Amino acid sequence: MMTRHFMRILPIAACLSVSLTLGVALWPAAALAQPSRAEAMQALAGVEWTLETDAITALGDGAEQTLMAIADDDSLLNVYRIRALMALKLFQTSDVADYLESRLAVWSNDALSRRTMESFSAGFAQTYPQRVASALTPYLANGNPHLRITAARALRSLNTAQARVAVNAYLSDRAQSWEIEALQNE
C-alpha cells in the first residue's frame, strides 16, 4: 500500500524537481529581462516629479526599450510620455539616438517634439554633435515659435560650426522678436 502511494507521488516530485531546476537555471536570464512597464511608470510618477538618475538607472537593462514604448504609447497621458522622453537622455546608445532622431519628424504634439529635442541634444551633444545639429537646424524655420526657440537653445549648446551658423542666421532673421528675448532669458 505504501508503494502504491509512493508511485503516485513520484511523478509529482519529479515535476517539481524539474521545475525548480529550470527556475534556478533560468533565473539569470530573467534578471536580464527589461523592466516591467509598471516599474517604469512608477519611476515616472509623481506630482512634483524630477528626473532622478538613480531611480531610472535602477530599472536595469532594457530600461530604454521600456521608456521608448511608454513614449510611443498614445493611450497614456502625455505627462508620462514626456517624462519617458526626458529620461531617455540618460541612455546614450545609438539605438536611443536613432529613436529620438526618428521621433522628431513623427510627433504632431509640440510638447513631445520639444522634449524630444531637449533629450536628444542633452544626451547626444557630446557624442554626436553633428548629428544633433543636422536634425535640429530645420526646426529653426518651423512655424511654431516654441519649437524654434527650443531648437535654437539646443543648437546654441553645441560646439559645431554648423550649429553656430544656424543660430546666427536664426537670430539675424528675428532682430526685434520676442523669441530673441526668450532665448536670452533661459
Cβ burial, residue 172 (10 Å; 0-12/13-18/19+): exposed
Q: Is pLDDT larger for residue 21 or for residue 47?
A: 47
Contacts 24+ apart (CB under 8 A), 101-110: 101/131, 101/135, 103/71, 104/135, 104/136, 104/139, 109/78, 110/144, 110/146, 110/147
Query: Per-residue pLDDT tens for 45-70?
Result: 999 999 999 999 999 999 999 999 99
Higher pLDDT, 11 or 112: 112
Confidence of residue 176 (pLDDT cuts 50, 70, 90): low
Mean pLDDT of 144-171: 92
Res. 1: pLDDT tops 90: no
Residue 35 confidence (pLDDT): 81
Percent of the chain with pLDDT over 90: 66
Question: Residue 160 is which amino acid?
Answer: T
pLDDT for the residue numbered 26: 42
Helices (H), 32-144: 37-44, 53-57, 63-72, 78-87, 94-104, 110-124, 129-136
Q: What is the DSSP letter of 36?
A: P
- What's the DSSP call for residue 4? H
Is residue 170 within 8 Å of residue 152, measured between CB atoms?
Answer: yes
The arithmetic mean of pLDDT across residues 126-130, rounded, is 94
Are the C-beta atoms of 30 and 60 separated by less than 8 Å?
no
pLDDT digits (tens, 9 = 90+) for 73-127: 999 999 999 999 999 999 999 999 999 999 998 888 899 999 999 999 999 999 9
Q: Is the pLDDT of residue 24 over 50?
A: no
CB 170 within 8 A of CB 148: yes
Residue 173 vs residue 94, higher pLDDT: 94
